[in-house]
Amino acid sequence: EVQLVESGGGLVQPGGSLRLSCAASGFTFSDHYMDWVRQAPGKGLEWVGRTRNKGYTTKYAASVKGRFTISRDDSNNLLYLQVNSLKTEDTAVYYCARGEGSSGVFDIWGQGTMVTVAS
Amino acid sequence: DIVMTQSPDSLAVSLGERATINCKSSQSVLSRSNNKNYLAWYQQKPGQPPVLLIYWASTRESGVPDRFSGSGSGTDFTLTISSLQAEDVAVYYCQHYYDTPLTFGGGTKVEIK
């Protein structure tokens, strides 16, 4: 079964850090772009960033650039999102999503992990 | 950045009737190199992650019922549910993947009238 499972969310104070993880299974992880998408409570979807396959170049949304870092471990089928200098507006469910081979659309999503930034 | 604008914000449709959702991009998402529109549609039910319905503006993802269809080109796109079923109650999002940053529309909430 193709699956993505996120972990690492929690309650953190403004200015704090977290490392989110996404464990992939059921497909050849190294063949795919992998993305993070977030959703603030009651709000829409916001793309956070992407790591490409075979070269690992990364792209970020302007709202997180310089504070968030995406990395991947293809040997262990893991995707990471290091989130630093957190702000209250970063409070959201963070989803990892697989980029489909030829298009990059998000064909598989995890269930998400909640990050709450509050004092 | 490409801005995606959806309309309406919400709509209520009777069971078995047609639901139509519009999505407009601030610039064309049609690639001249392959003549494909880099536009996708997702469905999100409460408490669940989004599910891919349509990509390349009109290609249904495997397993998606054929009552869902996508159309349009360039900057104007439509998602149509030909005969609304109870299980289609959800929020629907369009998204471009023409280039980064990828952006989503604000979502359209579909309910039963």
Query: What digits encode the pLDDT tens for the residues B55-99?
Result: 999 999 999 999 999 999 999 999 999 999 999 999 999 999 999
- Do A59 and B97 make contact, defined as CB atoms within 8 angstroms? no
**Confidence band of A101 (pLDDT split at 50, 70, 90):** confident
Amino acid B96: pLDDT: 97
CA distances from B59 to A13, B51, B79, B101 (A): 44, 14, 11, 22
CB spacing of B107 vs A47 below 8 angstroms: no
* CA dihedral angle for residue A90, residue B104, residue B35, residue B52, rounded to 10 degrees: 100
Q: How far is A49 from chain B (nearest CA, A)?
A: 8
CA A16 to the chain's CA centroid: 17
pLDDT > 70 fraction of chain A, expressed in percent and rounded: 99
Q: What is the pLDDT of residue A40?
A: 98
CA–CA dist A114, A20 (Å, integer): 10
pLDDT of A103 > 80? The answer is: no
Question: Which of B52, B103, B107 has the CB atom closest to A105's CB atom?
Answer: B52
Instruction: Give the mutation candidate from B97, B99, B108, B109 for the A interface (greatest A CB count, under 10 A).
Output: B97
pLDDT tens, position by position, B26-55: 999 999 999 999 999 999 999 999 999 999
pLDDT in tens, A25-61: 999 999 999 999 999 999 999 999 999 987 679 999 9
Report phi then psi at B33, rounded to 5: -75, -35
- Best probe of the B interface among A45, A51, A60, by most B CBs < 10 A, is A45
How close is the nearest chain A Cα to the Cα of B14, in Å?
A: 25
